[in-house]
A = this chain, B = another copy of it.
Amino acid sequence: MTEMSSATIADVARRAGVSSATVSRVINRNYPVATSTRERVEAAIAELGYVVNAHARALAGATNRTVGIIINDVVDPFYAYIARGVEREATRHGRLCMVCCTEGSHQQELALIDLLHEQRADAVILVGGAHEDRAYAAEVGRRARALHAAGSTLVLCGRPSLGDDVPTKVVEYDNEGGAFAITDYLITQGHRRILFLGGPSSLSTTIARLAGHRRALEMRGLPQAKELVHTGSFSRRFGYDRIRELLAERLDFTAVFAANDTVAAGVMQALELAGVSVPGEISVVGYDDVPVAQELRPQLTTVRIPLEEMGRQAVRLALGVAGEGDYLAPVQTTTRVGTTVVVRDSVASAY
């Protein structure tokens, strides 16, 4: 009774008394079909509950209309906002979006690139900073080439290029500049001993933020104290624990530059628990401007990254199309979005 296999284009054709080619034309509207015929076909489609088979369609040549995005974790707002940008822009261009998570595993990441390649995605977007690792970079490069050879594109979103000989497109944001700016802001508020806290030390993101931080210090002629730099992870837990330790050690500092907002949240919680007032005694700044920055009390001064826009740019770049307000779409392989300091309530003058 129940037909487990759905109707095919041939079934529709038979029912409408036409050839399968005609049905295809009715569906794709890419060839003239008499109105009466069209109506007959449409009726047959409705009666049979026919739904095109995207695989057969993709096989037969029409592009697959799919983009893939690979992130660490959907729940992390940093990635979620980028994913939203990708999803929206993909939809805007009639593409479906496949979201995959690596949970931070390189192995998984490489496997996912392959999987997306198998699916013949129009583009695969790799999001987030990369760890320094020659072998790993080589693997990514190999896949970028494979994708390229197949007519697809690997887009690096928020991580540095793999070199000019690797066919990728890149969406960058000004990591170093943002860190420079917010550090400078802290310095102009009179802070001299600024603690840099968090971020895996081998991650490109951390490296860039730390570089910007150091450049600001240097420019203002401030010393780069080793004991004031504590890389680690991007977790709240890290911020919380490390601050507690440092407080116990009675380390001298008047401000904390947390490597991201999540770490800053941990920092603020530890400070609150220790009875240290923010920004009265200690000033705190973060990076990313994810929602938690506005939930914290005091609200967090941080660096804003146009995350959603980065996601959108990534698919535009990959698809080679123009944005909504863009005048023209030069075929570019890299774009860079700016970062801005958002001043809120977590910094006070040190004077």
A residues in contact (CB < 8 Å) with B: 2-6, 49, 51-59, 64, 73-75, 77, 80-81, 83-84, 87-88, 91, 96-101, 114-120, 142, 145-146, 149-151, 265, 291-292, 295-297
Closest to A167 in B: B2
Report chain B residues within 8 Å CB of A114: 51
Report chain B residues within 8 Å CB of A64: 55
Closest to A64 in B: B55
Closest to A295 in B: B295
Q: Output the least CB separation between A251 and chain B (Å).
A: 26
What are 13 A-B residue pairs whose CB atoms fall within 8 Å in the complex?
A5-B151, A49-B142, A51-B114, A53-B120, A74-B74, A75-B80, A75-B84, A87-B100, A96-B119, A98-B99, A265-B295, A292-B295, A295-B295
The distance in angstroms between the C-alpha atoms of A57 and B98, with both chains bound, is 18
The distance in angstroms between the C-alpha atoms of A208 and B341, with both chains bound, is 43
A98 contacts B101, CB within 8 Å?
no
Q: A53-B59, A54-B118, A54-B119 are in contact. List 4 more A-B contacts (CB 8 A).
A: A5-B150, A54-B120, A96-B98, A295-B295
Report chain B residues within 8 Å CB of A77: 75
Q: Output the least CB separation between A84 and chain B (Å).
A: 5
Report chain B residues within 8 Å CB of A142: 49
Closest 6 CB pairs of A and B: A6-B150, A295-B295, A99-B99, A55-B58, A55-B55, A54-B118
The distance in angstroms between the C-alpha atoms of A91 and B207, with both chains bound, is 32
The distance in angstroms between the C-alpha atoms of A57 and B119, with both chains bound, is 10
Report chain B residues within 8 Å CB of A265: 295
* Partner among B2, B99, B120, B145 whose Cβ is within 8 Å of the Cβ of A87: B99
B146 contacts A53, CB within 8 Å?
no
The distance in angstroms between the C-alpha atoms of A150 and B5, with both chains bound, is 5
Report chain B residues within 8 Å CB of A120: 53-55
Most buried by B among A81, A84, A119, A146: A119
Q: Output the least CB separation between A45 and chain B (Å).
A: 12
The distance in angstroms between the C-alpha atoms of A297 and B269, with both chains bound, is 11
